[in-house]
Amino acid sequence: MTTEREILKSLKNFRKIKPDKNWVFLTKEKILGSQRRIFPLFKPLELALFTILILVGLFKASEGALPGEPLYLIKRGKEEIQTIFVPEDEKPKIFLEITQKRAKELEKVANLNETKKLSSAIKEFKEGASKAARILVKSEKIDKEGMEKAFLTLQTVKKVEKNLETKVTPPQFEKAIEEKVKLIIKDLEVRSLTEKQKEILNSAKEDLENGQIERAFEKVMLILQNG
């Protein structure tokens, strides 16, 4: 004799009857239509995290990219974004830093001897240096750090020019540097300097008068570094 309790207990076991999961998913897709996602494996939050990870990975990988390489566009894009938020008085330093990077890339590419990359690297350097020159002309003063970057850039590019036997430095960049060197010389003239420093400063002024900007710059930097 089967009791009511036993029947009720057995009936609950029918709750195990379920349709297969694939059918459940596909039927829902069919009925609700646009439930489909581009990446069905990811939920929106996971997709956002996945995208961020990919972008971070690409940014990291692009750091060493050289002109003419696919990841170089990402590197330049990242720089463009960074410069948007730079305050006006910080701009000379940042743009000189970017020009210095372009100069180093040019040096690397010149050593690799890859023609296609070389033309891209020269173009990138010229653009970077021209932009830095425009910023330098507009800026009233420039700090020691910025001048150091400008000096190192000039040194690197002069080495490349010698190696390639071609002039790549835009004249406006040299002109902007010259103007800044003149300003620093003026500033140093009213400062109390040691006899040795005064001697170096006079020599720098002579170089400047003779059009030897790089040499004048080098001497001015020497005083600044020891000052």
Partner 1 sequence: MNKKKYFSKIYDQFVDKIYRFIFLRVNSEEIAKDLTSETFAKVWHAFQNSEIKNLKAFLYKTARNLTTDFYREKAKISHASLENLPPIADPKRNPQEKVIFEEKMEKIRKSLNNLREDYRQVIILRYIDGLSIKEISEIMERSPGAVRVLIHRALESLKRECNKKEGFSSS
Asked if 201 and 192 count as a contact pair (C-beta separation under 8 A), the reply is: no
* Total residues binding partner 1 (CB under 8 A): 26
When the beta carbons of 23 and 85 are compared against partner 1, the nearer one is 23
Is residue 16 near partner 1 by the rule CB under 8 A? Answer: yes
When the beta carbons of 3 and 113 are compared against partner 1, the nearer one is 3
State the number of CA atoms in the 13 A half-sphere of 24 facing the CB: 4
Q: Which of 162, 163, 160, 204 has the alpha carbon at shortest distance from 185?
A: 204
When the beta carbons of 10 and 163 are compared against partner 1, the nearer one is 10
Is residue 43 near partner 1 by the rule CB under 8 A? Answer: no
Concatenate the DSSP letters of all residues of 61-82 into one string. Answer: HHTT--TTSTTHHHHHHHHHHH
Stretch that binds partner 1, among 19-27, 94-102, 151-159, 193-201 (CB under 8 A): 19-27
Q: Which of 152, 185, 77, 163 has the alpha carbon at shortest distance from 112?
A: 163
Is residue 24 near partner 1 by the rule CB under 8 A? Answer: yes
Is residue 45 near partner 1 by the rule CB under 8 A? Answer: no
Asked if 161 and 167 count as a contact pair (C-beta separation under 8 A), the reply is: yes
Alpha-carbon distance of 79 to 84, in angstroms, equals 9
* Least separation in angstroms between CB 4 and partner 1: 6
Is residue 138 near partner 1 by the rule CB under 8 A? Answer: no
Q: What is the DSSP letter of 141?
A: -
When the beta carbons of 6 and 89 are compared against partner 1, the nearer one is 6
Contact residues for partner 1 (CB under 8 A)? 1-4, 6-8, 10-19, 23-24, 27-28, 30-32, 34-35
